[in-house]
Structure 1
Amino acid sequence: MVSSSMNMSAGDGRENDDDLYTTALRFLLLRQQGFKVSCDMFDKFKEVDGKFEESLGTDAVGLLTLFETTHVRVHGEDLLDEALTFTTTHLESSIEAHRLSPLEARSYLSIYEERGHSVNQTLLTFAKLDFNLLQQVH
Structure 2
Amino acid sequence: MSSPHLLIVSAVCVYDEDGRLLTVRKRGTEKFMHPGGKPEPGESAAQAASRELQEEVGIRIGADELQHLGTWDAAAANEENTVIRASVFTAPGTWQAVPAAEIEAVRWLDLDREWPADLAPLLTEHVLPTLLQARGSR
TM-score using structure 1 length: 0.28
When you count helix as a share of all residues, which structure comes out higher?
1
From the CA coordinates, give the structure whose radius of gyration is larger: 1
Q: Which has the higher contact order (CA 8 A, sep 6+)?
A: 2
